[in-house]
Structure 1
Amino acid sequence: MRKVLLPTIIFIATILLVLRLFYLQVIDDTLKLKSDNNAIKIAYDYPERGYIYDRNGKLLVANQPSYDIMVIPKDVKDIDVDEFCSLLKITKEDYDKKIAKAKVYSPRLPSVFLSQLNKKEYAAFQEVQRNFTGFYIQKRALRDYQVAFGANVFGFITQVNDKIIQKNKYYNSGDLIGRQGVEESYEDFLRGVKGVKYIQKDKYNRDIGSYKEGRFDTIAVQGSDINLSIDAELQKYGEELMVNKRGGIVAIEPKTGEILALVTAPSYDPAILVGRQRSKNYTTLYKDSIAKPLYDRGLLAEYTPGSPFKILTGLVALQEGAIDENFSVNCHHGFSYAPGRFMKCHCHGGALQLHRGIYESCNTFFSTSYMRTIDKYNNPPKGVDVWSNHLKSFGLGQFMGYDLPTGKKGNLPTSKTYKKMYPGWGWSSRTIVSNAIGQGEVLMTPIQLANMIATVANRGYYYTPHIIKKIKGHAIDKKFTTKHVTTVDRKYFEPMISGLFDVYNMGTAHGLNVEGIDICGKTGTAENFAKINGKRVKLQDHSIFVAFAPKDNPKIAIAVFVENGYWGARWAGPITSLMIEKYIKRKITRTDLEKRMLEGSLQSEYNKYYANPIVDTLIKSKIDGPAKPLEIKPEVKVVKPQIKVRDTSGN
């Protein structure tokens, strides 16, 4: 038995191997298609990308035809290179470089020689294409923007690189892929499915018909249309209000988490990233290292939140029982919390409770509330971690999980933060009290600020912000319909909202109200420091505002951040009121505010150190005197003042 076992196994294995080879080489023709087969040409039929609409069905992004000249290097023989270059308006040097690059990719496979010809260029080449063997036209679809706004929302499409081709076998050289914005996030839905045709060739490399009568051919499937949650009119209006300013606007529908507007300023017309000039225009935008038009400030910019953070300070203090609605603090326009240390305050002074503390934005009240919260546990590290965990439930200090490909998580300090900052030193709530007014180690992005105020509008819950509303033929991700509940009880939100409502009636936003709309909001000002030639310099403060409306059954929550905008009610406040009225009423009655915001400019503030921000030309250092290049780097953290903490906001 043992003598025949091994030969039997070898015999059976040999038979199976022969049968498998016979199947693959004779019966199954797909290997011929997958191999580099000289007798078969693969032709792709590229589908149109899915159209993009806004929440109301307004068409935002469509398609237009584009034509690429493809080359198969091994087939390029005996052509008149001079005539070819003259026709396409390229130099002989360009021709040699493109052919060399194509050979590196593959001598036998097609790659893009010249992309995105217009109809006129395509027609001229098509007439003489027969004279240039090895070259052919590949039709594709480029984006056709119906609007001149929303560039940061849409993103753009560009050719795949070698890294993408190696990683994802769907793509070939010359294919287009979405980058940034929803084009990247929803690429798998928008791109559709390429059609493939296998064409038999004779020994003279002439097409002789479909391979196997088209048995393996597939048809192109158009990409899925999508509806964004963006309100096109609100987005456009927000971008108009932010002309000649820098910053971000994020508006959210509180009850769904749908993003109504996502504005970054400065921005650009998305159409400039289409066509033969796309690469040149992108390079210009990319090299603008001052205005940073490709930098989405609504998602990426991390700022100290300033006075809007007092909302969270108060809510956590209420939840922890450190204060109640009737808790009173006596403010003498400042707060001494240790010998030699003093926090200035701009409120009207006297005895304040929570309600007045909110609408007058009293530093003393919220600093006291914060320290009582930390000190409750007689253990600063534990107190800070309890406070930090409450804030995490509002989405702070973490990536929020929204459906856009870029973002920052901000910064939320814990006991580990301060143990590292103050090694071997007995820090306490007094050491870190500037957190109370949003001037400490806390950093937030505008979308986190918007989500925070949306959570307050909902009285303690939120849905992950998202920009998709509908995908044709598909369901949206379930995580966008999952409710997140904070660790602060619902009952504590009502007294806070009452105070936010009176911010407009008798507080720091008095005069910014809109007739017929009950708005709840909070002004804010964040101190702004930068390093100039290695020195820490205070620049003009940032203007911040958060709000929601109406007070009951809110339809919009919004955060506005204007860089170097002085104080909250000067720029961010009016923009907030106008955005709310535009969305709810669909018209503007506060034309006084509108005129001031549309005509107003902060360019003189931004240009203090720069002769021409577009080309990054520096002319003067106000610190070091003579003209020379400066290196300006916004600080990641605000350095803790050791003598006093001050709030210059007036908010």
Structure 2
Amino acid sequence: MRKLLLASIIIIIAIVYIGRLSYLQLLDNTNKNPLNDTAINAVYDYPERGHIYDRNGELLVANQPSYDVMVIPREVKPLDTLEFCALLNITKEEFEKKYKKARIYSPRLPSVFVPQLSKKEYAILQEKMRKYEGFYIQKRSLRHYMTHVGANVLGYISEVNNRDLKKYSYYQSGELIGRQGVEEEYENVLRGRKGVKFIQKDRFNRVIGPYKDGVFDTLPVPGKDIVLTLDNELQKYGEKLMIHKRGGIVALDPKTGEILALVSAPSYDPDLLVGRKRSKNYTELYYDSIAKPLYDRGLNAMYPPGSPFKTVNALIGLQEGVIDESTTFTCYHGYRYGRNSFMGCHCPSGTRNNLRRGIEASCNAYFANTYRRIIEKYPTSAEGMNAWEKHVESFGLGNYLGYDLPTGQSGKIPDADYYNSVYGERRWFATNTLSNAIGQGEVLSTPIQLANLTATIANRGYYYTPHIIKEIENDTIPNKFLEKHQTTIDTKNFEPVVQGMYDVYNKGTASLLRIPGINIAGKTGTAENFTKIEGERVQLTDHSIFVAFAPVEDPKIAIAVFVENGYWGSRWAGRIASLMIEKYVKGEITRTDMENYLLKGSLEEEYAKPLSGESFRINDGKTFVKWPEKEVIKQPTKKPLP
């Protein structure tokens, strides 16, 4: 009986073990990764990336075939290295470096050895690949740019690096990922999903066939097409007008927050970053530390907003009840405050300006008085400053706005804590911060923030988050782009400011820029421009700034233009903004005189001054220094321009 019991126990245990092993071996696929088996190779099938279109259906980015030479290091047999290098047009040193990198990544997984062969290179190589065991050619697609503009918006694709491999489990070494612009922001949408086939080999490394009859194999899923809010013709025109200039243009549809144009100058042809030439071209662009073509000035460059910021102070003054549209201040060719401080402007001495006239003439005295009244309305300067700061930030200034592009700066709007840290608590007053009244001092903004401010004024008090995505194939755009953001300013307070901006075009600082048949509201601006040379703070030529929206009665476009070292607002930025508006609203240009001026004009000599020993003002505003001899030349104070 005991022998029967013992035999029964042994048989039962054996049946349990056999059953469990059979289940695990034949039926259970849970957590089983074929790549963990050294006898199995994965062959990936890469999908086409989604196409990119502009708002009018124009194809901007498509795909073209590409061929990569792949290597599986453990399968490589002795070969004629010099012959192979000659076929691939690489040196023996490059061969050894690439092979070593592939072995470090994985001896048994495929790595890209030489990427992105041309059709001609592929045709020469494919017939001879059988001689080189462990190497094979894999087909995939590269980007094909149908436009030569908008590089900062579109972005590019390149191989994943070690940081990407650690961050994203989806990618394998040598695969491509979106960089910058919409290629990076919408990578998950555009890339699709790669397919994979698992191939089983025997102990002699011979292919047996599909692993488990292909049960783990998947088909590639193409990337989704996307439609951008960008108007490619407007983008093209903006980049054309900015040739030989540096700066940024941002144009929005105020009714939706859609980005119509996002120009950064100087720019580059996006085709430069496609194929095997990408690395060399990128290096040249990256190390151009003077023109900075890879630097998106529309999103990253922080400038003092200058006189366009006066519109914000006007609105806050109206909301706080410290002025109304009939309030007047006398201007004595500027505003004098403190012991020796003077904020000059171009109003004739003794001029009395109301709100509309103050905006039209860009009167510094009017807005200095308004700003003081805002801050001094409260028991302490700190309370006044925080109330002012909350109003300003409700326009989207001082933050990243939440747009759908992967780069940007927050700008800067100071608050009481900032000035407490500079001067000490209760040791500063409105006059210490008076530069904020005219958009100088501590206030900084990016072109996209200033364009959003202009759109908010066009809408009489609200804005939609600026965005570049219009449609996603078989999907919806994020809800946050459909939400309205209300400012702290009542709608009724916007109309006198809008009328003042309308006067700027009709009888004020931009009266020479009028476009026939379009009612435009705008504001000129000039911002002081400082840099450091050999540790000294040096003042260069002022930046030219202009904001505008049109038509006044039914706004379709709001725009901000910054031109570095552009002297004053109407000289460069105002002309560019006016023509961009005409191009978008009319679809044609009638002010050919203005267009010719911009196309022929160049600021390259201005940008060369710091490199060529020109003269600059140092920070007292009166003393010029001839660089590099540092010869000091006294000059009269330069008056700030509107």
SS at match of 1:378: coil
Q: Which residue of 2 aligns with 1:292?
A: 292
- Hey, what's the Cα distance between the residues in 2 that align with 1:39 and 1:532? 63
Q: CA deviation at 1:409?
A: 0.3
Q: Check conservation: 1:250, 1:262, Cα contact below 8 A.
A: yes
The CA distance in 1 between the partners of 2:382 and 2:368, in whole Å, is 18
The Cα of 1:623 is off from its aligned counterpart by 3.0
Shift of 1:231: 0.2
User: SS of the residue aligned with 2:275?
Assistant: coil
Once the two structures are TM-superposed, the CA of residue 40 in structure 1 deviates from its matched residue by 1.8
Identify the residue that residue 487 of structure 2 maps to in structure 1: 486
Partner amino acid for 1:199? I
* Pairing 1:61-210 to 2, within 5 Å after superposition: 61-210=61-210
Q: Go from structure 1 to structure 2 and tell me whether the alpha carbon gap of 1:204 and 1:650 turns closer, same or farther (over 3 Å shift).
A: same
Deviation at 1:86, TM superposition (A): 1.3
Question: Matches of 1:388 and 1:144 in 2, distance apart?
Answer: 46
Partners of 2:439 and 2:277 lie apart in 1 by 44
- 2:569 paired with 1:568: yes
Instruction: Answer with 269-278 or 339-348: which moved more.
Output: 339-348
CA–CA distance in 2 between the matches of 1:503 and 1:73? 70
SS in 2 for 1:188: helix
Say whether the 8 Å CA contact 1:154–1:182 is kept in structure 2: yes
| 8 Å Cα contact 1:345-1:647 kept in structure 2 | no
Q: Tell me, yes or no, if the aligned pair for 2:381 and 2:426 is still in contact at 8 Å.
A: no
Which consecutive residues of structure 2, in runs of 5 or more, have no partner in the other structure? 1-13, 614-624, 632-636
The residue that corresponds to 2:473 in the other structure is 472
CA contact (8 A) 1:460 1:488 kept: yes
Identity of aligned residues (%): 61
Which residue does the alignment assign to 2:579? Answer: 578
Give the aligned partner of residue 352 of structure 1.
Answer: 353
Cα deviation, 1:465-513, whole Å, max 9, x if unaligned, reads 0000000011100000000000000000000000100100100001101
Q: Which amino acid aligns with 1:75?
A: E
Supply the distance in 2 between the matched residues of 1:283 and 1:245 (Cα, whole angstroms).
22
Residue in 2 that maps onto 1:399: 400
How many residue pairs get matched? 612
Q: Secondary structure at the match of 1:276?
A: helix
> 1:648 corresponds to which residue?
639
Q: What SS does the corresponding residue of 1:227 show, helix, strand or coil?
A: strand
**Matched residue type, 1:281:** N
Quote the Cα distance in structure 1 between the aligned partners of 2:455 and 2:232: 20
Deviation at 1:29, TM superposition (A): 4.2
Q: TM-score, normalised by structure 1?
A: 0.91
Q: Is the 8 A contact 1:254 1:556 kept in 2?
A: yes
Distance 2:598 2:383 in 1: 46
Contact 2:525 / 2:544 at 8 angstroms: preserved in 1?
yes
2:372·2:434 contact (CA, 8 Å) conserved in 1?
yes
Tell me how far apart the structure 1 counterparts of residues 492 and 31 of structure 2 sit (CA, whole Å).
Answer: 68
Question: Compared with structure 1, are the counterparts of its residues 333 and 389 closer, same or farther at alpha carbon in structure 2 (3 Å cutoff)?
Answer: same
User: In structure 2, what is the Cα distance between the partners aligned to 1:218 and 1:649?
Assistant: 66
Distance 2:122 2:300 in 1: 41
Alpha-carbon distance between aligned partners in 1 of 2:585 and 2:638, rounded to the nearest angstrom? 33
Q: How much has 1:166 moved relative to structure 2?
A: 2.3
1:33 and 1:40 in contact (8 A); partners too: no
Contact kept in structure 2, 1:24 and 1:31, CA below 8 Å? no
What is the CA deviation profile of residues 7-32 of structure 1, one whole-angstrom value per residue up to 9, with x for unaligned ones?
xxxxxxx9999987764444224655
* Runs of 5+ unmatched residues, structure 1: 1-13, 613-620, 628-645
Report what 2:542 is aligned to: 541
Q: d(CA) in 2 for partners of 1:401 and 1:580?
A: 25
Cα distance 1:624–1:140, how it changes in 2: closer, same or farther (>3 A)?
same
C-alpha displacement at 1:223, in angstroms? 0.3
Pairwise mapping of residues 197-596 of structure 1 onto structure 2 (< 5 A)?
Answer: 197-349=197-349, 350-423=351-424, 426-596=427-597
| CA shift for structure 1 position 341 | 2.4
Q: CA deviation at 1:425?
A: 6.6
Equivalent position SS for 2:147 = coil
Range with greater deviation from structure 2 (506-515 or 423-432)? 423-432
Cα offsets for 1:230-281 (capped at 9, x unmatched): 0000000000000000000000000000000000000000000011110010
Instruction: Quote the offset at 1:78 in angstroms.
Output: 2.0
Judge conservation of contact 2:35–2:41 (CA < 8 Å) in 1.
no
What SS class does the counterpart of residue 609 from structure 1 fall into? helix
Q: Secondary structure at the match of 1:142?
A: strand
Compute the displacement of 1:442 (Å): 0.5
| Partners of 1:343 and 1:647 within 8 A in 2 | no
